[in-house]
Structure 1
């Protein structure tokens, strides 16, 4: 048995299905486009070795219509890459006519291949996953070892992305099991972070934040990312919302609760049904992510449908531009939240002050309450108050607190018992 046989992946059963995330990885697409530009060839692609002694193209970059695209399979011995791996052909081939084996391969005439440069994609354990190739339609005797070095540099970036995808694929069943264990709500707890009126210094609301068991020593964002990865994103969000709703009854009189929900879950209609079944006073739904324009009409309809049950808060991310401002106007929020990027360092940043002043004006024109997130110092609070921001939230007042501690804080700061 040749040495090559020991380092090839073993494929006694069909190769695993490539995830859409990997197939559509913009990083790999960008790498292929860059290698074409740097080397000056028409085609670049990534392929993997699969069962039945075949290879499969996973990513292809070309400005031409090709008969071979992602998913194309062929016997591996029909490819340059396989013979390069075997040592029968060199990695750098300026002209296939100079190599009888390359000249006789069917792809040389059918594509045609005028020059070819390739390197194996070798994983950290030494396994050859596939190959990274670039080729042109015409011979190019200017190709040299520098071009091969460039190709190998780009190939190493692709290998990193492959290994990351493989790692996610291996951990997916475990991630799904962990997420499923949370869906009955018993493992999810809710903390509350106070929201303070900058005019009176008294609490006016809290933001409900989900916390999960420290089984994997990862934060809440990682749990929601895992849930999205395994197709349970909406389910985990609704579980978190249900757990948060259970805590709202403990709030003092006149204090509202904001609950974070993604645009996708709002647009699905599932949140509306949940709110209809568990009506709660003084509730605010905070849309957590920037929504895309093609989701806007459906999201707007659902927001209108849930307004009898809750007010709406939107977060204004820095740099979302005109389209984002258009969304704010179209969705008609009751509360506008500033990204903490504007708060950090505002004392010495004229640009942040100017942007905050503009948001104050926008909020007043839309009759919205404006909340500044991330206030950590007395100076930040002072400037926000002077600029006309309505409320503040951040570690300067309190970290997210367990329910009993949050209730005690609210009462100590002047909230009235229910």
Structure 2
């Protein structure tokens, strides 16, 4: 393995920002060479901007974010060949000596190499300098600088690709928010005890190429800071259908704890009678502030809204939600109900949920039901509310309003 690969692996650790990794590179090369200042510059808009600087000190003559005209810099002259990459004493080189910064800083020993990105473009330079001259620097030191600059280039290239991907994703989500490419369908929830539809879950669909499932869209929306906006749009569109659906049927909408804690429920639900609204908590991660979450939801439950915990059985988080939120409904994840007729472990866990629900007066809904045998097994276990393709696929509003199951 090349040294550059080892170096890249040591600084490009998951969880570290690019800036943190670049600063580690600067500190390592500056200390290795025994020089006073190391920095990474970026060429942009005719300016040389100091992106990262080591050491971080108010006394450092170079400060992060500061800049100056590119034409007045050492950096441009190194890139275009007017200055060498290694100078033992800049004050003795006529081109460098002619620049005011050489005496003002002052700059003695100076090493600088271009940072060339993966696409071949020059981003800026990777530089070190000392205030005093240093005659000990040699080609091996310069070669080391080039390795560090290559690693910096890989990190910055990856950062730019990620930024471009984020920008593209944000653009797609904003397009969905501002158009009819985002629609809501309604999937019936059937109660075998009353032999009828008792509610519908509102489910988002996105009609943009390439196709991505709804979970992907919401995940990406949260990654670019648009998760709450996309959820709000889905809830608004879902509640618009209440008047068209049967009066005895509820509509279930999905909302994340993060969105609830933002205080958005007032605006989303203020104009709606909530006796027919079920709020499904959609988060799969742990929630740290259940007390705050319950306080936010309480006024709406007092107005008739019911609370459901989604995806029970799919992970540890759903169990915590059940114990801490005291829901009115528990929705069993399809990973638990699928093939329950042939899997004793799934039957045993579902039986435990059914007993818990009976003792706590909670309603159970089984998601992902697809076969008559699964329906029969769930009924034997005391689970009578069903959702899945066996009942119906998600429907457009007009079809949902007139839906009559054949089974």
TM-score tier (shorter)? 0.5 to 0.7
Trace 1:54-133 onto structure 2 (pairs within 5 A): 54-57=48-51, 71=65, 120=115, 122-124=117-119, 126-129=120-123
Alignment equivalent of 1:164, drawn from 148, 162, 165: 162
Decide which structure has the larger Cα Rg and report it: 2
Trace 1:227-376 onto structure 2 (pairs within 5 A): 233-252=227-246, 254-290=248-284, 293=287, 296-307=290-301, 308-316=303-311, 321=316, 325-343=319-337, 356=350, 359-360=353-354, 362-376=356-370
Deviation at 1:367, TM superposition (A): 3.2
Matches of 1:77 and 1:252, distance apart in 2: 72
Give the direction of change, closer, same or farther, for the CA distance of 1:121–1:325 in structure 2 (3 Å limit): farther
Match of residue 204 from structure 1: 198
Matches of 2:178 and 2:220, distance apart in 1: 11
Match of residue 17 from structure 1: none
Per-residue Cα deviation, 1:26-68 (whole angstroms, up to 9, x for no partner)? 57479769989x99x99x99764334532343x79x9998978
Query: Which secondary structure does the structure 2 equivalent of 1:399 belong to?
Result: coil
Give the direction of change, closer, same or farther, for the CA distance of 1:144–1:230 in structure 2 (3 Å limit): closer
User: Is the 8 Å Cα contact of residues 284 and 313 (structure 1) preserved in structure 2?
Assistant: yes
Per-residue Cα deviation, 1:322-360 (whole angstroms, up to 9, x for no partner)? 7x6444323221112233344456677776566555544
Give the direction of change, closer, same or farther, for the CA distance of 1:273–1:387 in structure 2 (3 Å limit): same
User: Is the 8 Å Cα contact of residues 316 and 337 (structure 1) preserved in structure 2?
Assistant: yes
Trace 1:379-398 onto structure 2 (pairs within 5 A): 380-381=374-375, 384-385=378-379, 388-398=382-392
Per-residue Cα deviation, 1:145-186 (whole angstroms, up to 9, x for no partner)? 99988985785465234123135436756754652346xxxx
Matches of 1:365 and 1:97, distance apart in 2: 82
Deviation at 1:314, TM superposition (A): 1.9
Deviation at 1:118, TM superposition (A): 8.0
Matches of 1:214 and 1:386, distance apart in 2: 42
Does residue 1:195 correspond to 2:189, yes or no? yes
What count of residue pairs does the alignment treat as equivalent?
Answer: 377
Matches of 1:348 and 1:233, distance apart in 2: 38
Say which is worse superposed, 193-202 or 67-76, in terms of deviation. 67-76
User: Is the 8 Å Cα contact of residues 50 and 56 (structure 1) preserved in structure 2?
Assistant: no
Query: Which secondary structure does the structure 1 equivalent of 2:241 belong to?
Result: helix
Give the direction of change, closer, same or farther, for the CA distance of 1:213–1:335 in structure 2 (3 Å limit): same
Give the direction of change, closer, same or farther, for the CA distance of 1:222–1:316 in structure 2 (3 Å limit): closer
Match of residue 177 from structure 2: 179
Matches of 2:379 and 2:247, distance apart in 1: 24
Matches of 1:371 and 1:329, distance apart in 2: 17
Query: Which secondary structure does the structure 2 equivalent of 1:196 belong to?
Result: strand
Give the direction of change, closer, same or farther, for the CA distance of 1:180–1:404 in structure 2 (3 Å limit): closer
The alignment yields a C-alpha RMSD, in angstroms, of 5.7
User: Is the 8 Å Cα contact of residues 118 and 154 (structure 2) preserved in structure 1?
Assistant: no
User: Is the 8 Å Cα contact of residues 132 and 155 (structure 1) preserved in structure 2?
Assistant: no
Deviation at 1:303, TM superposition (A): 0.9
Say which is worse superposed, 141-150 or 395-404, in terms of deviation. 141-150
